[in-house]
Amino acid sequence: MARSKIALVGAGQIGGTLAHIAALKELGDVVLFDIAEGIPQGKALDLSQSSAQQGFHSKISGANDYGAIAGADVVIVTAGVPRKPGMSRDDLLSINLKVMESVGEGILAHAPGAFVICITNPLDAMVWALQKKTGLPANMVVGMAGVLDSARFRHFLSEEFNVAIEDVSAFVLGGHGDDMVPSLRYSTVAGVPLPDLVKAGWTTQAKLDAIVERTRKGGGEIVGLLKTGSAFYAPAASAIAMAESYLRDERRVLAAAAQLNGEYGVNGLYVGVPVVIGANGVERVVEVALDADEKKMFEKSVASVQTLVDACKTINPAFA
Ligand code: APR
């Protein structure tokens, strides 16, 4: 049986890590695409040579031509530029919006049947633009943010409780990063909701509040430490979990930026919500009742996604 094909549009820090994890997990053959000449080819060669010791059979190649992504089953998009000192949010938005236009054209021409996972920031607006530009079915275009925010939240909680991370589950909604809406009620340790663990004296509300704040600023904390780049290991691992759930029809419930059509009272925007990812892409949005506080935070988060989308429409009226 032919191996699946995973195309990585953007062969930077996250792209290279995605290729490595995909190969180690034998998810399929991997094509790294980038506009920078030599980078995807060099990374592909280095990774291919690592297979001698690491024992994977995935073929890894690099290209500067969109033809190379032809027929991909999954496309993961990290193409774009990071925000640099002195660059306004609108500058970043307009540069990466243009990148999404060219990436969208490439996907539409060569891999229109793929499950597309966008990672490029500002995520909620970029995934919206990518879907709009390609016109691909919304269940096949999704943004990676919630899995990463949940992973950060779970890591900090597992440290606080001194328990295995796989026994900690986190429920997050809303936009990426600062706008993340954690639900403490729906986040658990071995099925026990966090507020019950406060009552039981395992932790305090103040400590949970600090963990939520640290999770929201999780990306910034890493930028502050690295100084010349942003996080890439956990973002790559998070996108791979989504790709794997699609390719292997695992039907995992993962937080992701999905197009909402009435769910949570939102129409047409991409917002982070728990979804079921299986062989048909986003198969279901998991909709639960929110309490007043969660609702307020969620609405604030949706409003900031709307502001970004409106800014995209102003920058390029073709998106309106
Ligand atoms: N088409 C293809 N690739 C492009 C394009 C384009 N139009 N424009 C830029 N790129 C490539 C760059 O050449 C670079 O190799 O995208 C890559 C981005 O890689 P990095 O700068 O290393 O960024 P990375 O850390 O991988 O993050 C990528 O994910 O989390 C977000 O904010 C982050 O938007 C950023 C993205």
The angle, 0 to 180 degrees and rounded to 10, between the axes of the packed helices 205-216 and 218-226 is 60
Is the confidence metric ipTM above 0.90 for this complex?
Answer: yes
Task: Tell me the average pLDDT across 18-25.
Answer: 98
**What is the CB-side half-sphere exposure of residue 179 using CA atoms within 13 A?**
24
Among 144, 161, 181, the domain-final residue is: 144
Domain co-membership, 105 together with 134: yes
Position of tokens 């049947």? 113
Joined together, the tokens standing for residue 282 give: 């986003």
Whether 318 maps to a domain, the answer reads no
Domain co-membership, 212 together with 71: no
Domain co-membership, 178 together with 305: yes
Residue 280, judged by CB atoms within 10 A of its CB (0-12, 13-18, 19+), counts as middle
CATH value at residue 118: 3.40.50.720
Task: State yes or no: pLDDT of 255 exceeds 80.
Answer: yes
The angle, 0 to 180 degrees and rounded to 10, between the axes of the packed helices 13-24 and 233-247 is 50
Catalytic residue list:
176
pLDDT band at 135 (very low <50, low <70, confident <90, very high): very high
Domain co-membership, 173 together with 261: yes
For the chain, percent of residues with pLDDT exceeding 90? 90
Average model confidence (pLDDT) across the chain: 95
Q: How many residues does the chain have?
A: 320
Task: State yes or no: pLDDT of 180 exceeds 90.
Answer: no
pLDDT band at 82 (very low <50, low <70, confident <90, very high): confident
Domain count, the chain: 2
Task: Tell me the average pLDDT across 39-45.
Answer: 98
What was the pLDDT predicted at 2? 87
Query: Which range marks the domain in which residue 125 is found?
Result: 5-144
pLDDT band at 1 (very low <50, low <70, confident <90, very high): confident
Contact yes or no for 44/61 (Cβ under 8 A): yes
Report the nearest-CA residue for atom 16 of ligand 1: 79
Task: Tell me the average pLDDT across 128-151.
Answer: 97
Task: Compute, in angstroms, the gap from residue 81 CA to the centroid of ligand 1.
Answer: 5
Closest listed residue to residue 75, CA positions, set 53, 107, 46, 45? 107
What was the pLDDT predicted at 229? 87
Among 128, 144, 160, the domain-final residue is: 144
End-to-end CA distance of the chain: 43
Which pTM was predicted? 0.97
CATH value at residue 274: 3.90.110.10
Among 101, 124, 144, the domain-final residue is: 144
Q: What are the helix (H) ranges across the chain? A: 13-24, 39-54, 89-110, 123-134, 146-161, 194-199, 205-216, 218-226, 233-247, 292-315
Domain co-membership, 97 together with 213: no
Report the nearest-CA residue for atom 19 of ligand 1: 12
135 annotated ligand binder:
no
Residue 93, judged by CB atoms within 10 A of its CB (0-12, 13-18, 19+), counts as buried
Protein residues with CB under 6 Å of any ligand 1 atom: 9-15, 34-36, 39, 78-80, 82, 99, 102-103, 119-121, 229-230, 232, 235
Task: State yes or no: pLDDT of 87 exceeds 80.
Answer: no
pLDDT band at 40 (very low <50, low <70, confident <90, very high): very high
Joined together, the tokens standing for residue 233 give: 């290991």
What was the pLDDT predicted at 37? 98
Domain co-membership, 139 together with 173: no
Whether 282 maps to a domain, the answer reads yes
Task: Tell me the average pLDDT across 264-290.
Answer: 96
